[in-house]
Amino acid sequence: TDGAGTQHEVLRSAGQPLTMRRGWLGIQVEEYKRPTFTAETKPVEQAFVLGDTVRVQGEALTYTRVPVAGALVQYTVRRLAGGYGPRTDTSHTVSDTTRTDERGCFVLPVHLSVPSSSAAVVPLSGYRYAVSYTVTASQGETVQGEFTLRASRRKVWIEPQVPKAICRERIP
């Protein structure tokens, strides 16, 4: 590898699978370009419930911390059952676009929607909202990210962290 951690290899297989000691591996080499920027979202710090719209802040910056201004941000929000209770209404999907500002910042408005059917029952665990986004810079380079929000009828969500094994001698 060189100083940047890049490895250069020449593979001569004429399109044939490479043979290995235990099996085989077929590969197809396309042009790979290392990303020149990152896109990340910040953790949501305010409480929210079903029906709210959460504004998730994000930013796109080069590795030298220069803003990626004017980049196209495409995002999709999928509502999924929360994990417990009946698995109802997992078909709701919303897609939209926005752009980064001059500081490379963007906002993803995530509406924590509930089923519109009056017969729909909100599961006790609420819903998960899976958000995936793609940031495309002006030169065409793209970076992807994703995050998940959980929402319920109440603003409190407890996720206990319990070890698989509890040793009686270590309990205070």
Percent of the chain with pLDDT over 70: 67
* 61-85 confidence digits (pLDDT tens): 999 999 999 999 999 999 887 765 4
141 or 10: which leads in pLDDT: 141
**Which pLDDT score is estimated for 118?**
47
- The confidence band for 88, taking pLDDT boundaries of 50, 70 and 90, is very low
Judge contact between 89 and 129, C-beta under 8 A: no
Q: Between 3 and 97, whose confidence is greater?
A: 97
List pLDDT tens digits, range 112-130: 988 776 445 666 667 889 9
Helix (H) or strand (E) holding 166: none
CA angle 128, 162, 157 (to 5 degrees): 35
The mean-pLDDT minimum among 41-45, 56-60, 128-132, 155-159 falls in 155-159
pTM of the predicted model, to two decimals? 0.69
